[in-house]
Structure 1
Amino acid sequence: MKKIVAITSFCFFFGALLNAQSSDLRLGFQVSPSFSFMATDDNQINSNGTNLGLKLGMIAEMYFQENYAFFTGLGFAFNSGGTLRHEQGGQIWTRSELPQGVDPTFFPGVDLKYNIQYVEIPFGLKFRTNSFGYLRYWAEIPVLTLGFRSQARGAI
């Protein structure tokens, strides 16, 4: 239900800005590294490592005033996740498709590494100053990102 409300709000806000914008449109490409980790509120499971990932995406800035723009885009986050140490053993991945011959019962203290990929839709407002010589300062506030898991894999 929350996803439906968020997507509907996004579409309404985006549609309202399309009618009020000037013809100034800027497109860009984004490449950035990311560090991610996982945490849980279970006392028997502890965070035990980070993942170094990569984010790729396209960004569109639609200016509705000279120094004010609405931005959105489409991005892909690769290798998010982290490593979790399970202090108690047992059957942890009960709903997983394990290879033939792999015992689904794990020993205590096992580290399970998770690699997760996301499709992301960022949006927000961009504010920038007038140019000072060759410099221009800008801020993107707020940056809200809708993330949808596209793939999740685990390794023992």
Structure 2
Amino acid sequence: MLLISATGFSQTPFQLSFTASPSVNWMSPAGQDVKNNKSKMGYEFGVHGDFYFDPEMRYAFTTGLLVSQTGGELTYDVAGESFNFAGVSINSGRSIRYRLKYIEIPYALKMRTRNFYRWRYWGLFGLSSSINISAKGDSSDKQLDKADISKEVKLFNTALNLGLGGEYDLGERNSLIVGVIYKDGFMDITKNSLGGKTTVNSLTFKLSLVF
């Protein structure tokens, strides 16, 4: 993907960075019978490519390839004594912890300031598309323990990305990027109808090294 993009932007400056960033993730159900119980720590790692389309390298199209671990915990307080989840009958009022892993492709417009004492400050706005590669779950009644719950999770997800941060020049065209990116999911990631539309959101503390 990056090679194809580089071909299309062959006349523009290109910046490649490696990222390994922690994140805080939570799930937001729309149904009144399902509640977000707690957030989940996660991470993402991979590569980003920034394709600048101005001589001062202030405006760029940014994309990449990431592996992200996300999820959350939901409490299902549904009508009746139990409900079926991943082939197991679970009593109402129990919580399920989702452990989700995705391959993610972000695409956004990135803007950054001129150099201030070796610092550049940036902001970005865009989207990210994800495909689920792993879905595990635990239940509070211990019936599920890192069980495969892929039948309860949809394959694709899309999120709106908003970010702010800074880039410190280390010399020799290397730099350190720090920042915060908020990812607001807007697709229902669950296949069951227990909680209505359920989205997953995250706050990523971006740490990247530009090569």
TM range (shorter): 0.7 to 0.9
| Structure of higher RCO (CA pairs closer than 8 Å, 6+ residues apart) | 2
Match of 1:83 in 2: 73
**Which among 38, 44, 59 is matched to residue 27 of structure 2?**
38
C-alpha distance 39-126 of structure 1, shift in aligned 2 (>3 A): closer
Question: Would you say the 8 A contact 1:92–1:105 is kept in 2?
Answer: yes
The secondary structure found in structure 2 opposite 1:22 is coil
**Which among 42, 55, 58 is matched to residue 47 of structure 2?**
58
Structure number with bigger Rg: 1
Q: CA RMSD in A?
A: 2.2
What runs of 5+ residues in structure 2 fail to find an aligned partner?
140-211
C-alpha distance 28-85 of structure 1, shift in aligned 2 (>3 A): same
2:26, 2:71 → 1: CA distance? 5
2:60, 2:10 → 1: CA distance? 9
What runs of 5+ residues in structure 1 fail to find an aligned partner?
1-13, 99-103
Match of 1:149 in 2: 132
Match of 1:71 in 2: 62
- TM-score, length of structure 2 as denominator length: 0.56
Question: Would you say the 8 A contact 2:9–2:51 is kept in 1?
Answer: no
* Poorly superposed stretches of 4+, deviation over 4 Å: 17-21
Question: Would you say the 8 A contact 1:22–1:63 is kept in 2?
Answer: no
1:39, 1:136 → 2: CA distance? 34
Give per-residue Cα distances to partners, 1:72-110, cap 9 Å, x unaligned. Answer: 1001111x11111122442321xx3x5xxxxx2222321
The secondary structure found in structure 2 opposite 1:82 is strand
C-alpha distance 41-21 of structure 1, shift in aligned 2 (>3 A): same
Question: Would you say the 8 A contact 1:85–1:110 is kept in 2?
Answer: yes
Spell out the pairing of 1:17-32 with structure 2 (5 A cutoff). Answer: 19=8, 22-32=11-21
1:27, 1:20 → 2: CA distance? 13
Equivalent pairs, count: 132
Question: Could you say which structure has the higher helix fraction?
Answer: 1
- TM-score, length of structure 1 as denominator length: 0.73
